[in-house]
Amino acid sequence: MYRFLAEGPTDVKPDYNYFPFMKQLIKIASGISGAAIYVLVIMVILGTVGVIMGKLGSSNMAQRIGWGMVIMALIGAAVVASAGGLVMWATQQQLI
């Protein structure tokens, strides 16, 4: 009896078109990721300007902050751009 309760239906698959608002959610997700990438591009530019200004002004602190901004923005861009793939990979993992 308990073995039957532990076994769930194995034919349940996600239906991405079931609800009528799914297309709107896809547009919202695309818009948010696009906006995030634009913000990250601005951060890369500002970080690069910080590195250049730090180099010209002989400020090690400005260079470190600039490089930190560039590196963090690039890591963030990699995560944002591959978010769909990461979620798809995670949903395909067998936990049991």
Neighbours of 47 (CB within 10 A): 20
Q: Please report whether residue 21 resides in a domain.
A: no
Q: Please report whether residue 23 resides in a domain.
A: no
Looking at the chain, the whole-number percentage of residues with pLDDT higher than 90 is 65
Decide: 82 and 36 in contact? Cβ < 8 Å.
no
Q: Please report whether residue 89 resides in a domain.
A: yes
Question: pLDDT higher for 50 or 9?
Answer: 50
Q: What do you get for the CA distance between the two ends of the chain, in Å?
A: 19
CA atoms within 13 A on the CB side of 35: 6
Q: Please report whether residue 74 resides in a domain.
A: yes
Q: Please report whether residue 50 resides in a domain.
A: yes
Q: Please report whether residue 68 resides in a domain.
A: yes
Domain that holds residue 79: 31-96
Looking at the chain, the whole-number percentage of residues with pLDDT higher than 70 is 88
Q: What single-letter amino acid sits at 55?
A: K
> What pLDDT, in 10s, does the model give residues 49-68?
999 999 999 999 999 999 99
Number of domains in the chain: 1
Q: What is the pLDDT of residue 14?
A: 78
Q: Where are the alpha helices (DSSP H) in 57-92?
A: 60-81, 83-91
Confidence of residue 13 (pLDDT cuts 50, 70, 90): confident
pLDDT at residue 79 above 80? yes
Q: Please report whether residue 44 resides in a domain.
A: yes
Q: Please report whether residue 69 resides in a domain.
A: yes
Q: What is the mean pLDDT of the chain?
A: 88
- The tokens for 25 are 């959610």
pLDDT at residue 96 above 90? no
